[in-house]
Amino acid sequence: MTQSTLVEQETMRQKAHQIFDMVKGFAHGADEVEITLATNIGEYLRFGHNELGQSQHSKSRDLSVRVTTDRRQGRASTGRLEKSLIEKTVQKALAQAKAAPEDPDYLPMLGPQQYRSVERYHEATVDAPADVKAGHVIFAIDLAKKNSLLASGVLGTSADHGSILNSSGLEAHHRATTGHFSLTMDADNGNQTGFALSTFADIRDLDAEKLAETALERARLNKSQADISPGKYDVVIDPAAWSETLIFLTVSASAGYSPDFGMRQYKEGRSYLSGRIGERIMGENITLEDDAYHPLQTGPPFDGEGYPKSKLTLVENGTLRNLASSRISAKRYGDAKPTGHELPLPNPLGELPTNVVIRGSGPTKTPDELVEELDSGLLLTRLWYVREVEARTKTVTGMTRDGTFLVENGEVKQPVRNLRFNQSLLELFTNIEKLSEPVRNTSFGGPTMIQPGVLARDFNITSVSVF
Amino acid sequence: MSDTKGIGEELAKLSLGIAAKENATYSDFRLVHTRNEHVSVVNDNPSSEESDNLGVGVRVLYGGTGWGFADTDETDHDSIREATLKALSLAKGASKAGSKVSLAREPAHVENWDSPVEKDPFSASTEDKYDVLREATVRMKEKDVVARRGELFFSTIGKYFANSEGSRIYQNLTHSGTLIIVAAKGPNGMQRRSAQQYMLSGYELVDQMRLPEEAVELTKDVLALTSAGKCPEGKSDIILSGDQVALQVHESCGHPIELDRVLGYEANFAGRSFLTPDKLGNLQYGSEHVNIVMDSTLEHGQGLGTFRYDDEGVMAQRKYAVRNGKFSGYLMSRETAPRVGETRSNGCMRADGYKLPIIRMTNVSLDPGDWDYDELIEDTKDGILMVTNYGWSIDQKRYNFQFNCEKGYVIHNGSLGEMVRGPAYSGITPEFWNSCDAVCNRDSWVLWGTPNCGKGQPMQVMGTGHGASPTRFRNVKVFGAS
């Protein structure tokens, strides 16, 4: 850690303390006060049609103030950190608390905690010159041009600082850098496409040339697609292909897009998992953990109220074992202990695992080996526009995109048109035979998931698109 | 909000001045002040939050070929200077890999505009808001009901726009939204019923939506759904409720007419479009009964896509996307309009707060037809009525879609028969819209709000409006959730 980084970190902590002191001074009549201060600086080189058309630089701050009075809670937030506007924000939080009904789950604010250190801030990402990042983009555009293709995508980096301080003495700080390079090469109005994605915390881990070559290779292969019939196919799903699908393991539309692996939802019967602890819901070779400390994970080692995150085994060898929990659940239910999975309070939706890691038992394969071990079936490189159809079986529908290939005797033989699937995720996770090493992925800026590629049997294709 | 315009005028002068001095081809400046309130009750747990944000977005075109954009929520002079120079720096870099940009002409506008509001939602007390939600969610309490949700959303957005061509525009927009959801468990899994509406409106929307009364009806429905049969499978005529037609329009017409998608700028994320320029004026997108407008004017209604000017200073307009079934027009920006031979943008550049404006739906609406709703049911010999969306999915060029709904009724000989759970339908967009043979009249036409349309990298969220009435489609593939 360099001198300048240390100074910056210290400055952010001082800033959080200054604001907290100010907020406390304005919060007359509040029983308790909490602030969450977040800052973000991001740079996004967005390109399309072989042009750098949407280069963006962004700076934002967010101060969120929570106060409690007589077991009632209120929250107000602002990006405006002038003293008079902070005072106004505190008054709004107080007004919200006074107007709120008594919270049946009210708990006094959490006291000081000890956190396990996670180092997720990389100066190389913060300091990466714009022209170096632009060079990665230009390389991809030039490669596309040389091959009569169009490159589109984004190379984004961001640096975040976050702090929680409260009147019970809790103080939690976290900072991190994140980045992603997402790239599509296409031709013939999207009839021929190839996609590649890489996420990183340290930009030195980005192999931009390899990424561009992967997108190119897939686009070159994905030409003159064959028509196939709907039905059940054995599939290899590329590890970067399906974060948008996997998010539906943890969130359901049935109660209005609320999280599923939380204790409160489970006990209230709102989750598709309710009543299923101890039940085998997936194959014996599948384990789902929530592990904020996994080296590929992102985010802080504490939850929305500053409780330290525990590593949790949600599904062990296919059997539902544990749920994400919180102080509220521990108070409500005799058999629950806090695990550090609360969202910022007041949180009526319930707990959410935000650091899911999916892994298999036994030795892993490389993604290429998964294809080599597929006798006959499909290679899916990107699943798109996935939505829940039915919660109990976790049936989802979605489309394949940017490269769907027929595989025979372990070799990619022929691209096929984009396919619609209607597939139970629980059934899919029962039919997985082989897995690759998991990679980091995110969906729409949501929680990070560490996810493997898989070889699975009987994936349910229900229709074929026209391209 | 009263100070937003004054601060905007001062900072715009500074930012536009720096861009001009640095020889920018074009620049614009937006100061956006947003105030939001969200009040929620889930089962018996209350939650509310109010937020207030002010930020600036600066967009610069340099050398006629490169765009750069920077935003900041620090509004002192130094920060505005820094943001403008950052946008210039990015524009200069991008100009090396850009092609010539021609902006469609737009008159310089100088105007102040406030959206219509009967009751200021921020003057209504938060206690009253909680009272409405508690009454609604209490009325949902029944055996087997596992989730009772009620939410209210309010926002006012004050935005000042100025550009290097002389436009100086201040707009103040007020939006309100209501959402109630009830879920119940039964032998066939969990069922859901919901009702939502979002409009360019004040608190009067909450009164109009009659949430406690609606909660009772939805609860009856959801309990009936727990023991309802599965939707039949095969080919069938279907009638879709107005709110479901609204989402069908959004996904299968609104997105493919976004010209940035068509030109390939969204290929990596949102995707492309099957509605390529060679099809403009040529493709029979739907049957003669299908007329779809892009209309951001107040005359169309108070939708989430209603405003006076878009976020690059183009005045609100009404244009046809589909006229008598024929594909007729795109959602455009000043940069993209000339690429399809248009001399003027139809004003579809919109930004999430003070972020980068991108092409977005405004109000994309299916014009009402001439059918009375009861007569349409009577005219349908056999079919399925599908009500309110549950899940939606469509491919990246917007051909192959599947929609799942919350409830359905089998229609026998012109009468509604048994209720069915989880009805679903799928198809290919132009085939589907060409199978449309009846659209209900204005009596059942509603301008629905879709509050959460995601697009762009980094992701932006936008509200869009979709007017629709119940509509019939012939010989569609139908099935049901298990």
Residue A253 shares a structural domain with residue A353: yes
The residue from A183, A210, A237 where one domain ends is: A210
Residue A429 shares a structural domain with residue A467: yes
Q: Is residue A403 assigned to a domain? A: yes
CB contact under 8 Å between A57 and B265, yes or no, is no
Interface test with A, best of B86, B395, B452 (most A CBs within 10 A): B395
State both tokens at B405: 């709904």
State both tokens at B62: 């340099």
CATH of the domain at A30: 3.30.2290.10
Predicted local distance difference test score (pLDDT) of residue A244: 87
Is residue A396 predicted with pLDDT exceeding 90?
yes
Residue A166 shares a structural domain with residue A237: no
- The helix/strand count (H/E) of chain B reads as 9, 23
Query: What distance in Å separates the CA atoms of residue A118 and residue A297, rounded to the nearest whole number?
Result: 10
CB contact under 8 Å between B48 and A75, yes or no, is yes
State both tokens at B119: 């009751």
Residue A153 shares a structural domain with residue A255: no
Residue A259 shares a structural domain with residue A196: no
Is residue B1 predicted with pLDDT exceeding 80?
no
Of the candidates B71, B121, B38, the residue with the CA atom closest to the CA atom of residue A77: B38
Predicted local distance difference test score (pLDDT) of residue A443: 63
Q: Is residue A216 assigned to a domain? A: no
Q: How many CB atoms lie within 10 A of CB A457?
A: 15
Is residue A444 predicted with pLDDT exceeding 80?
no
- The answer to whether the beta carbons of residues A259 and A250 sit under 8 Å apart is yes
Predicted local distance difference test score (pLDDT) of residue A4: 60
Q: Which residues of A137-174 are buried (b: 16+ CB within 10 A; e: fewer)?
A: bbbbbebbeeeebbbbbbbbbbbbbbbbbbbeebbbbb
Is residue A418 predicted with pLDDT exceeding 70?
yes
Question: Taking all residues of chain B, what is their mean pLDDT, rounded to a whole number?
Answer: 97
Peptide bond into A346 cis (omega under 30): yes
Residue A104: closest CA among chain B residues belongs to which residue?
B45
The residue from A210, A240, A255 where one domain ends is: A210
* SS3 of chain B: helix, strand, coil, percent, to 5: 25, 45, 35
Residue A405 shares a structural domain with residue A466: yes
With a pLDDT cut of 90, the percent of chain A lying above it is 92
Residue A202 shares a structural domain with residue A229: no
Q: Is residue A352 assigned to a domain? A: yes
- The answer to whether the beta carbons of residues B266 and B424 sit under 8 Å apart is no
Range of the domain at A352: 224-467
Q: Which run of H or E residues covers position B247?
A: helix B242-249
Q: Tokens 């400055």 label which residue? A: A11
State both tokens at B381: 């010999």
Contacts of B275 (CB under 8 A, 6+ apart): B256, B257, B262, B283, B285, B327, B330, B398
Interface test with A, best of B226, B352, B396, B431 (most A CBs within 10 A): B396
Q: Is residue A218 assigned to a domain? A: no
Predicted local distance difference test score (pLDDT) of residue A445: 65
Q: Tokens 């002068």 label which residue? A: B13
Interface test with B, best of A61, A248, A390, A443 (most B CBs within 10 A): A390
Residue A186: closest CA among chain B residues belongs to which residue?
B267
Q: What is the DSSP string of B324-341?
A: TTEE---B--TTTGGGGT
Of the candidates B442, B449, B373, the residue with the CA atom closest to the CA atom of residue B414: B373
Peptide bond into B458 cis (omega under 30): yes
pLDDT band at A90 (very low <50, low <70, confident <90, very high): very high
CB contact under 8 Å between B48 and A388, yes or no, is no
Contacts of B474 (CB under 8 A, 6+ apart): B237, B435, B436, B437
Between B146, B356, B481, which is nearest A269 by CB? B146
Average pLDDT estimate for A29-39: 97
Q: Is residue A215 assigned to a domain? A: no
Q: How many CB atoms lie within 10 A of CB B85?
A: 18
Q: What is the ipTM of this complex?
A: 0.95
To the nearest whole angstrom, how far is the Cα of B155 from the nearest Cα of chain A?
A: 14
Residue A115 shares a structural domain with residue A162: yes
Is residue A2 predicted with pLDDT exceeding 70?
no
pLDDT band at A243 (very low <50, low <70, confident <90, very high): confident
Query: What distance in Å separates the CA atoms of residue A26 and residue A87, rounded to the nearest whole number?
Result: 6
Q: Which run of H or E residues covers position B244?
A: helix B242-249
Q: Which run of H or E residues covers position B271?
A: none
To the nearest whole angstrom, how far is the Cα of B299 from the nearest Cα of chain A?
A: 33
**Which residues of chain A are within 8 Å of residue B71 when distances are taken between CB atoms?**
56-60
With a pLDDT cut of 70, the percent of chain A lying above it is 98
Average pLDDT estimate for A111-129: 96
Strands (E), B43-167: 45-62, 66-72, 110-114, 145-163
Give per-residue pLDDT as tens, B295-353: 999 999 999 999 999 999 999 999 999 999 999 999 999 999 999 999 999 999 999 99
pLDDT band at A5 (very low <50, low <70, confident <90, very high): low
Of the candidates B181, B173, B176, B172, the residue with the CA atom closest to the CA atom of residue B204: B176
Give per-residue pLDDT as tens, A187-214: 999 999 999 999 999 999 999 999 999 9
- The answer to whether the beta carbons of residues B287 and B325 sit under 8 Å apart is yes
Domains and CATH numbers, chain B: 2-227 (3.30.2290.10), 230-480 (no CATH)
pLDDT band at B188 (very low <50, low <70, confident <90, very high): confident
Average pLDDT estimate for B40-47: 96
**Which residues of chain B are within 8 Å of residue A389 when distances are taken between CB atoms?**
390-391, 404, 422, 424, 481
Give the dihedral of Cα atoms B68, B70, B75, B79; nearest 10 deg. Answer: -80
Predicted local distance difference test score (pLDDT) of residue B97: 76
Residue A364 shares a structural domain with residue A256: yes
State both tokens at B200: 């360019």
To the nearest whole angstrom, how far is the Cα of B372 from the nearest Cα of chain A?
A: 32
CB contact under 8 Å between B399 and A467, yes or no, is yes
Query: What distance in Å separates the CA atoms of residue A281 and residue A318, rounded to the nearest whole number?
Result: 6
pLDDT band at B226 (very low <50, low <70, confident <90, very high): very high
Residue A141: closest CA among chain B residues belongs to which residue?
B97
Average pLDDT estimate for A95-103: 96
Query: What distance in Å separates the CA atoms of residue A330 and residue A346, rounded to the nearest whole number?
Result: 16
With a pLDDT cut of 90, the percent of chain B lying above it is 97
Residue type at position A233: Y
Is residue B378 predicted with pLDDT exceeding 60?
yes
Contacts of A17 (CB under 8 A, 6+ apart): A165
Give per-residue pLDDT as tens, B154-180: 999 999 999 999 999 999 999 999 999
What angle separates helix A130-146 from helix B77-95, to the nearest 10 degrees?
Answer: 30
Q: Is residue A411 assigned to a domain? A: yes
Residue A161 shares a structural domain with residue A228: no
The residue from A164, A179, A210 where one domain ends is: A210
Residue A464: closest CA among chain B residues belongs to which residue?
B400
Residue A244 shares a structural domain with residue A347: yes
Q: Is residue A217 assigned to a domain? A: no
CB contact under 8 Å between B130 and A254, yes or no, is no
pLDDT band at B2 (very low <50, low <70, confident <90, very high): low
Is residue A1 predicted with pLDDT exceeding 80?
no
> Burial level of B140, CB count in 10 A (0-12/13-18/19+)?
buried
Q: Is residue A95 assigned to a domain? A: yes
Strands A419-424 and A395-400: antiparallel
Residue A303 shares a structural domain with residue A438: yes
Per the structure, the count of domains in chain A is 2
Query: What distance in Å separates the CA atoms of residue A248 and residue A257, rounded to the nearest whole number?
Result: 9
Is residue A78 predicted with pLDDT exceeding 90?
yes
End-to-end CA distance of chain A: 51
Its pTM stands at 0.96
